[in-house]
Each structure stands twice: as C-alpha cells, then as structure tokens.
Structure 1
Amino acid sequence: MNICILGGGNLGTLVMGDIGRRKDISVRLLTSRPDDWNHIIEVCDNDGIFKYSGRVDIISSNPEEVISDADIIISTLPSYMFNRTMQKIKPFLKAGVWIGMMPGNGGSECYCKELIESGCTLFGFQRVYGIARIKEYGKSVYDLGKKKELFIGAIPSCNTTDVCKVIEDLFNVKCNPLANYLHVALTPANPILHTARLYEMFHNYSEGVYWEKMISFYTEWTDETSTILLACDEEVQTLCRRLATVDLKRVGFVKEYFGAETPHQMTAKISNMISLKNIQSPMIVTEEGYIPDFKSRYFMEDFPFGLCIIKSFSEIVGVEIPLIDKILMWFEKVTGVEYYVDGKFEGKDLKNLPLPQNFGINSPEDIIAYYR
C-alpha cells in the first residue's frame, strides 16, 4: 500500500514516523522543502529519548512523483492550505483514492465535492490521533501522547467501516466508525477550544497594550475561558439537536470529551494535561513586550475554518448562536475581515470559505443528502 502525507508539521512528522515502521507500507511526502528532509524519521518521547523510527520512501515537491500511485492520502495541513494543495494534486489522483483529513473539520469535505462525485472516498478523523512537537525539522519529532481510540467519518458513509478497518491496522489503535460525516464536521474541538481561549485572553487588546511575559496557552487556562467554552459548546449542541433527522449524539462535544460539568472542573482538566503543558500562546515579542500574533495558525484557521463553518450550519437550520457571533465579530474587528453586514452573516470575506452555502447546500435536506 502506498500512502502519501500532505504536511510536514508536528502531526505529519509523527504520522510518517509511525506508519513508516511498516515494511508493507510505502510512505511518501509532498513538501515544498524536500531537501530539508531525511528518509528516516526518529520518534522520541517527551524527554527526547529515542523510541523508534520510520522510513519515508519518496520525498518530493512534485505532486506527480508522490500522488499518482498513492492509495491513501492523509492531509495534516492547516485548513487554509488544503484547497490550494488539492488543486495542485487533483490531476494526479488515482481513481477511487481515499483522501483523509486529520482532523476532519475545517470544511475540507466541501472542497472535495467533485472528487467524491467522481468516486473518491473522503474520510476525516474526529480529532487528531496524538499530540506531537517537531524536535528537528525533517528529522525527528516528540511523541507527547496518543489517543486510545479514534472516531472516523467518511463520505460516502457506506465506506466508513472499511476505512476504519484499514486505519485501525495502520495506526494500531481502535477505530470507531461514525454514522455520518457530520459527526466530524460539527465536532467543536479546536474551533471553540482555541477561539474561546483567544477571545478571553485578547478581547481587551488594543494597540499599545503589552504583556510582560508569554502566556502558557493551556497550563494558565482560566475559569473565565471555561465558562465561554462551555457556553459555545452548548450552542453547538443546540445546532445539532435542530438537525433531529440525523443522530448526532456522537459529535465530540467538549463537555463530554473532557468529562467536566462546571467551569472549575473544565479548568482543572485542561490546565493539568501533561501533553499540553509546554504549548505557548500565539504571541510575538516586541521591544515593549508581548502582543498577540494575529497571523498565527490559531487565528488563520480556527475562526474562518472553524467558527464560520459552525455559524453557516446554524444559518441553514435557523439556530441562534449569540456567543459565537460575538466572538466572530471580535475577530472581524482585530483582523479587518468582513463576515457580518448590518448584523447579517453575509460579508464579502465569506465567499471563498468552505461554507456549505457556497457549494449549493442551503437547507437541512441538502445537508442530509450531501453527508449521506
């Protein structure tokens, strides 16, 4: 089996180190920096102690060299890079290829509408299968902890069980098939986890405001953030309840995922997760102090390709989500994009996002039909 990885960041490097151990798997990497990569990827534990290594057989910036015979493609790219990359590789895709996203939210399934109609299978991980940090780019990675089980959805949904069997064997971890890809598309993981934290930290920021030190994103988590997070989670649950014709009980709601009922419990859970303890906030240092980095992946991905997608589904089914609106309007203010016009979700900067309405999905019936 030939598997091509899109994205050589933290997660992509760990994926290659893991599946590259298999002698019956040929791993390929599409990267803009092929000369910076070794063919052997070392995986280390949190203390930097070597655990194992995996082999990447072909490393190239030329899509034809790594895509044309790939049976499975797994993208770990940021959502804002996915469509541009897909346009480059589309001419070289095998008929019937499986295309996977880790994680699977971010609207990528809309970008792949034509490919699904032509016979490709799209699948998405409800959440990433582990936490990783690059040790040395193109050479080694820290494995900070992996999930004990995975949840996967596919389009068409009739292929989900087959996908789970292959992924379970590939990663040696239990894979649970989800009845519908909506369970992946609407999972409020990073789209509300990151945005709630960013809003709480920076909503009072203005030019000339500085922080004396870098803020730890998770270990300094606050009850105020948890309150916002739980309220956003409830808004997503309300959206899912409105789509009553689809059983969405296995959407990975934050409250259930962390096992926390109150803000204080949520703060205790998140701030004490060992795998997240060294993750810093998206901030940059200046001569005067630290300021938010509005060009970081946290901002470029989780608002336009996270909250906007949740908002677009709420528009279709007629559910009000006032707190998410408030957070998105703050994002508009600090980044200069236009999502709302006179309070309506119809700004000019929505037209290029993978929102269902931009792909002819305009009613609950359209949603059910597409994600079937």
Structure 2
Amino acid sequence: MGEDGAGAALSGPEDQEEPQIELLPDFCPIVFNPANQIIHPARYWAMFRNWKGQPLTKEEEPPEWLYRDMDETAGQVLEVLDEELQALKEAFFQATGCQGCSHVIPLAARLLEQYGDQIADKSTMAKMVGTNKAYSMARTPVLRSNQGVMPHPTHRVVTDDIGWGLCVLVSISERLEAMGMRTNTTMMRMLIEWHQKLMGKECTSTTAGSVVGTARSWCF
C-alpha cells in the first residue's frame, strides 16, 4: 500500500455490522429499569433536602451538573432504592412468572456493563454515577431569579420519575401485598412524599399511605 493509501481496501455499507434488535418477552425490563426513575429522585432530594421553601443564595446553590460529583448521601439513598426495586422485581416474577424480569439487573452491574470504560471511579455507587462520562453534561434543573435558585417542580426530572416511575413501582407493590406478598418500599415512599410536596400534587394518601395517583389521574 502506498503512502497515499491508494492500496487500502474500501469499506461500503455491506461491510458494516448491522445493529441487532433483541425482542424481549414483556415490558418488565422497562417497568423495573434501574435508571432514571431511581437515580433522579435520589440525586434531586439530596441536592435540595435542606431547602426550606426560599430561594437559595449563591453559596447554597446545588451543583451545576446533575450527575457530576454525586455525594455519598445520594449514592446511599440510590443503593437502597435499587435494593427495593430488585426485591420488588423478584416478587413480581414469583407472582407472574414474567420472563422479562430476568433482564433487570442491579444498577451497579448495569452501569458497569453499559458504561464501564467511561466510568473513572468504580469504588461506590455515587462515584460510579458521578464520574460517568456519559452522564457528565446534564445540568441540574432549577428555577433562577434575582433572589437565588429554587427546585424546578415541573421539570421532567421531577415529574416523570415520580409519576411514571416510583408511583408505578409502589402501586405494583401494593397490588402484590393484596396477594399476600409484602415488599419494602420505604425509601420509594419517602421520596414520593418529598417530591409531591415540591410539585403540589398528591401521589400518596396521607392517611392510608397508599398510592392514589394513577397513570390517568397524574395527567390532570
């Protein structure tokens, strides 16, 4: 081959590897996906857990970046959420036999499998999320004014992962409990209650503690 590369083999579309699509047996890998629906609530709560309803000063502002340098408080909450999710998935599998549950792996394993070479520090859950290059450019959603910053109650990081995430998971837990299969969703419920106050919505009953927000009522 010459220096100008004239002798190099040309590759056309026929030489490129085609993407492979795997058809999963059901929607369980989506419903129980250990991703945004547990990562966002843990991180956002940790950022604003001491917020008292007033704009935060410059010194009190949360980090500009949503995932970078996740603190260990958020990481520990995230670990508990993942444990609750995995236990719920196992109970659902026992009740239904849905084979898609076998595709739902713990969050740490999923991060390593999907982003392994992009994660700089794998020592803790917080470090795995916070040093993941693939996550590095997402900004923290806030409302900014002359007085400072406040949480953003209508941003999808807040609304989607509670109404279409944790509320769905807790609702599944309640249905399983009605069948005599009890699962622990203590952390999920705590985060639903914290976020619902932020959003001005009622997702759980304060008397019975059950989820009252359904996919339909959440839209109104």
1 or 2, which has the higher strand percentage? 1
* Alpha-carbon shift at residue 205 of structure 1 (Å): 1.3
Superposed, 1:117-156 pairs within 5 Å as: none
* Residue in 2 that maps onto 1:123: none
Indicate whether 1:325 and 2:171 are aligned.
no
* Residue in 2 that maps onto 1:249: 102
* Residue in 2 that maps onto 1:120: none
The 3 A distance-change label for structure 1 pair 172 and 269 is farther
How far apart, in 2, do the equivalents of 1:278 and 1:351 lie?
A: 30
Q: Secondary structure at 1:285's aligned position in 2?
A: strand
Superposed, 1:74-153 pairs within 5 Å as: none
Deviation by residue 1:25-59 (Cα, 9 ceiling, x = unmatched): xxxxxxxxxxxxxxxxxxxxxxxxxxxxxxxxxxx
* Residue in 2 that maps onto 1:345: 210
* Alpha-carbon shift at residue 264 of structure 1 (Å): 4.6
Higher-Rg structure is: 2
Q: Which runs of 4+ in 1 moved over 6 A?
A: none
How far apart, in 1, do the equivalents of 2:187 and 2:41 lie?
A: 11
Q: 1:250 is aligned with what amino acid?
A: H
The 3 A distance-change label for structure 1 pair 337 and 272 is same
The 3 A distance-change label for structure 1 pair 284 and 336 is closer
* Residue in 1 that maps onto 2:87: 238
Task: Give the conservation status (yes or no) of the 8 Å contact 1:304–1:353.
Answer: no
Higher relative CO (Cα under 8 Å, sequence separation at least 6) belongs to 2
* Residue in 2 that maps onto 1:270: 129
Superposed, 1:154-193 pairs within 5 Å as: 172-193=18-39
* Alpha-carbon shift at residue 252 of structure 1 (Å): 4.2
Task: Give the conservation status (yes or no) of the 8 Å contact 1:231–1:323.
Answer: yes
* Residue in 1 that maps onto 2:147: 288
* Alpha-carbon shift at residue 340 of structure 1 (Å): 2.1
Deviation by residue 1:219-270 (Cα, 9 ceiling, x = unmatched): 121111111111101101111111222342211431221249xx95222222
Aligned length: 183
- Specify every segment of 5 or more residues in structure 2 that has no aligned partner in the other structure, as ranges: 1-15, 117-121, 178-182
Q: 1:190 is aligned with what amino acid?
A: N
- Specify every segment of 5 or more residues in structure 1 that has no aligned partner in the other structure, as ranges: 1-168, 355-372
How far apart, in 1, do the equivalents of 2:57 and 2:28 lie?
A: 40
* Residue in 2 that maps onto 1:208: 54
* Residue in 2 that maps onto 1:148: none
Q: Secondary structure at 2:21's aligned position in 1?
A: strand
How far apart, in 1, do the equivalents of 2:215 and 2:107 lie?
A: 29
Task: Give the conservation status (yes or no) of the 8 Å contact 2:55–2:147.
Answer: no
Q: CA RMSD in A?
A: 2.6
Identity across the alignment (%): 19
1 or 2, which has the higher helix percentage? 2
How far apart, in 1, do the equivalents of 2:195 and 2:71 lie?
A: 20
How far apart, in 1, do the equivalents of 2:91 and 2:31 lie?
A: 15
* Alpha-carbon shift at residue 174 of structure 1 (Å): 3.1
Structure 1 residues 234-243 or 204-213, which shifts more?
204-213
Task: Give the conservation status (yes or no) of the 8 Å contact 1:189–1:252.
Answer: no
